[in-house]
Amino acid sequence: MCDKYKFDNVVRSTAWSPGPGCHGGCGVKLYVKDNKVVRVEGDEEHPFNHGRSCPRMMALTQYMYHPERFLYPLKRVGKRGEGKFERISWDEAFDTIEQRFNEIKEKYGPEAVIFAQGTGRDIGGAISFLCYSFGSPNWVQLGLSGQSCYTPRLGAMTMVQGAPCVADCGQFFEKRYDDERYQLPKYIVIWGQDPSAGCPDAFMGAWVVDCMKRGTKLICIDPRNTFYTSRAEHFLQIRPGTDGALAMGMLNLIIENKWYDAEFVEKWCHGFEELAERCKEYPLQKVSQITGIPQEDIFAATKAYATNNPSSIHWGVPIDMCPEGTTVAQAISLLWCLTGNLDVPGGNVIARPAFLITTYPYDTQQMKDLYGEGIMDFINTKRAGADQYKYLANFRGWAQPDLMVQQMIYGKPYPIKAAWIQTTNVLGGQAADLNKHYEALMNMEFNVVVDTFHNPTTMAVADIILPAATFAEKESFRTWYTPLQIINPAVQVGECKSDWEINLELARRFNPSIREKYPTFQHLVNERIGAHGFTYQKLRDEHNGWVYPTEGPSVPYKRYETGLLRRDGKPGFETPTGKVELWSTRHEEFDIDPLPFYKEPPESELATPELFKEYPLVMVTGKRSPLYFHAEHRNIPWLRSKDPYPKVEVNPKVLKELGISDGEWVWVENQRGKVLRKVKASIAMDEKCVSVPHGWWLPEEKGTYPDFFKAWTHNCNLLVPVGNQSSSGYGGGAYKTTLCRLRKVSPDEMPMLPPEVHDGAKEF
């Protein structure tokens, strides 16, 4: 209850970027005094987080009221990179964008404007809505080589079983672990992730701990030691990028030893004999040699998972970033299918949006549901990569990012002239080959950036900057699996607008019929959720902002037996055969191998032995921090004080061999360049790998050209190539497998070191 002597109001809402930055879902209480949020707590009544909050959430007030936050639209008045911007009105900003985009459309066609976003978050619906209202087919995660973040896994699961699924930690029920339908997993396989550092893909790391407390055991697959590996019954310390070989070896063991669910395979699976024949190519000894994992460990872990039902698998982006990431995800998904752990309590549960309501499309069918049957023909005519990759042309709406950056530079097969950039700091965060993406964005005639603070991207390439509202200042809704939730604003800060407000207004200008259909954002929300008897106001006022479906196709389990997974209502799965496709008919249709297989990383001790002699360490990027979300939050004092420097984590034995001390500054370098990092000795690291956290730039440094907050000095993506996408077009970004070496900073390079951060923090 609100304390009237301290607070004017307490607003319940759902956290979904910006603010904490994450994929969201947590229930939050926002304490308001004098029209300011002065305190933030987790909502103890919300079934997702039960009152838990991460450090980024606790620092929300510093984020919202930071003195350098964008509070009104800006336009560039000097040259790009000079950092000269002036305040303008929203009307001028919208008018300018409308005019410039329409001029480009008239001269080059709507495809000449791209709409670039960052990771998931509360943006997919808003940006695709704007993109298609303008008429462009080019919605893209610019810079994310191989689209190597969740999309390869989504694609593989869709082709295998007709829909994505997630490890079952009771999240589909309001009572969670106490629901009588739920059963605890005997094992959870954590494959390529440290769940405690974030909330990836609508899954919260704390749930694994909840299950562990109740008796679940762990199997961990990772090149690093983590909180979870130290508590695992089986820890497989894998060579980065070889996950496909391990998955195939595990499948082979399951088939050889008849650990599979024969009844499920016989009745519900297609292509078992073909899969079994392919798996014979991956005997235990060969898989051990490829992965670096002892044979006995692979055998024991596989047996534990396969013979203890129910068990589940929770995975991370290293799967997507493997060579042929789509087929690696295909192989891993076959593990839960063969063992009878698909859509059962405590297994891997097919995850569908609450009440089947989508905010943005995850696959082709959802694209058609949201935008009409003709949407794929419309976007595939000009979408970057659709003519080269049948898989890409028939799954989701993304343009292919590796091809897009090439097209932005060289103008083939047609010119790209403008970029709309929203929820992404391309040059400070996700873009592999930093120089190439800088060249591409500088080649644009007009760039609009929607963000909250200056960063390397805004400073380097923005022509118009629009100030985005945090989740505490906006209306939105969330249907990423269950429950159905709304985001409820508590305050207004400056002139900031939500991503939906911004994009809906411009969509109305490009497509006037939208103004009549959606005069306000709530009209759009109510249209999406109204068929189920809800409105935005009803969810807010009567349901505390969230509601679970109690029956129907978004409630597990074993829906394949009752026809709830197929559009025609027949039992089975939403695949061409109606079965789990161990041998994928769609992959065959898309001209890629219908069976999973292994491919060696493009740079490795096996694939490039001469290069390996020069660069003998594997650079594993992307380690998650609970203090930062990708390239965000380096300017938030509470957070920066706990993790002040761009680091490289190295095994102490390697440091001793190199004559480098803990705390020294070193160059991490390869044939593409070098980045400056501070050494952290860590026994968590394998001796063949170094961990180089991504997203580093220094907001306290000079932001103008050529400094750009020292992104080119510290951002490890400078060393990561583009163009290694998988044969599907999805997966293969070499963020986890690039070779490197460490070199001590020489005396004449010492002036390049950043200033020391005193007392654990720096005043910003």
Query: 524-538: per-residue pLDDT in tens?
Result: 999 989 988 999 999
**761 has a pLDDT exceeding 50:** no
The whole-number pLDDT of residue 758 equals 46
pLDDT confidence of residue 3: 58
Residues in the chain: 764
What is the pairing mode between strands 234-236 and 647-650? unpaired
220 DSSP β-pair partners: 190, 235
User: 329 and 731 in contact (C-beta within 8 Å)?
Assistant: yes
Look at residue 359 and tell me whether its pLDDT is greater than 90: no
Give the separation between CA 454 and CA 439, rounded to whole angstroms: 19
Which run of H or of E encompasses 336? helix 325-338
The mean pLDDT of the chain is 94
Half-sphere exposure of 168 (CA within 13 A, CB side): 30
Of 288-292, 371-375, 679-683, 712-716, the one with minimum mean pLDDT is 371-375
Cα–Cα distance for residue pair 413/38, rounded to 1 Å: 52
Query: Is 543 in a helix, a strand, or coil?
Result: coil
What's the confidence (pLDDT) of residue 365?
Answer: 75
pLDDT at 762: 44
Cα separation, 479 vs 197, in Å, equals 23
pLDDT band at 763 (very low <50, low <70, confident <90, very high): very low
Q: How far apart are CA 600 and CA 594, in angstroms?
A: 19
Q: How confident is the model at residue 1 (pLDDT cuts 50, 70, 90)?
A: very low
Q: Which of 556, 561, 726 is nearest to 156 (CA)?
A: 726
Residue at token pair 């080119």: 712
Ranges 204-208, 556-560, 604-608: which has the least confidence: 204-208
Contacts of 181 (CB under 8 A, 6+ apart): 173, 345, 556, 557
Sheet strand arrangement including 27-33: 9-14, 27-33, 36-42
Residues of each domain in the chain carrying CATH 3.40.50.740: 74-140+360-478+484-524
State the average pLDDT over residues 63-79. Answer: 98
24-68: pLDDT as tens digits? 789 999 999 999 999 999 999 999 999 999 999 999 999 999 999
Say whether pLDDT at 542 is over 70: yes
pLDDT given at position 376: 83
CATH fold of 151-353 reads Dimethylsulfoxide Reductase; domain 2 (3.40.228)
| Candidate from 182-186, 539-543, 632-636, 668-672 with smallest mean pLDDT | 539-543
Question: What are the φ/ψ torsions at residue 479 (nearest 5 degrees)?
Answer: -135, 35
Token pair in block for residue 582 = 């161990």
In the chain, ranges of CATH 2.40.40.20 domains: 609-760
**For residue 197, how many C-alpha atoms fall within 13 Å in the half-sphere facing its CB?**
16
- At residue 523, the pLDDT reads 94
Spatial neighbors of 645 by CB under 8 A, at least 6 apart, are 678, 754, 757
Contacts of residue 415, defined as CB under 8 A and 6 or more positions apart, other chains included, come to 108, 112
The C-alpha atoms of residue 184 and residue 421 are separated, in whole angstroms, by 42
Interatomic CA distance for residues 670 and 66, integer angstroms:
37
Structure tokens at 121: 């978050």
What SS3 class is residue 54?
Answer: coil
Percent of the chain scoring above 70 in pLDDT:
98
Does 17 score more than 90 pLDDT?
no
Peptide linkage before 693 cis (omega within 30 of 0): no
Residue (of 587, 515, 650) closest to 270 by Cα position: 587
Residue 99, CB half-sphere, CA atoms under 13 Å: how many? Answer: 7
- Strand 311-315 and strand 348-350: the pairing is unpaired
Residue among 721, 706, 732 nearest 82 (CA) = 706
pLDDT average, residue stretch 311-316:
97
pLDDT over threshold 60, residue 395: yes
User: Distance between CA atoms of 391 and 366, rounded to whole angstroms?
Assistant: 16
pLDDT tens column, 452-464:
999 999 999 999 9
Chain segment 257-285, per-residue pLDDT in tens: 999 999 999 999 999 999 999 999 999 99
Distance CA 755, CA 702 (A): 12
What is the mean pLDDT of the segment spanning 167-171? Answer: 97
Supply angle C-alpha 212, 216, 220, rounded to 5.
85
Q: Which of the 8 DSSP states describes residue 468?
A: B
Cα 509 to the chain's mean position, in Å? 31
Q: Give the C-alpha separation, 211 to 546, whole Å.
A: 24
Q: Which fold has domain 609-760?
A: Barwin-like endoglucanases (2.40.40)
Residue pair 203/76 in contact (Cβ under 8 Å)? The answer is no
Residue 634 has pLDDT above 70, yes or no: yes
Q: What burial class does residue 214 get, using C-beta atoms within 10 Å of its C-beta: 0-12 exposed, 13-18 middle, 19+ buried?
A: exposed
In CATH, the number for domain 74-140+360-478+484-524 is 3.40.50.740
- Comparing CA positions, the residue from 310, 190, 187, 289 lying closest to residue 246 is 289
* Residue-wise pLDDT tens digits, 463-514: 999 999 999 999 999 988 889 999 999 999 999 999 999 999 999 999 998 9
pLDDT of residue 452: 97
DSSP state of 398: B
Is the pLDDT at 764 greater than 50? The verdict is no
The residues near 448 (Cβ < 8 Å, ≥ 6 apart) are 97, 418, 419, 420, 421, 462, 463, 464, 465, 466
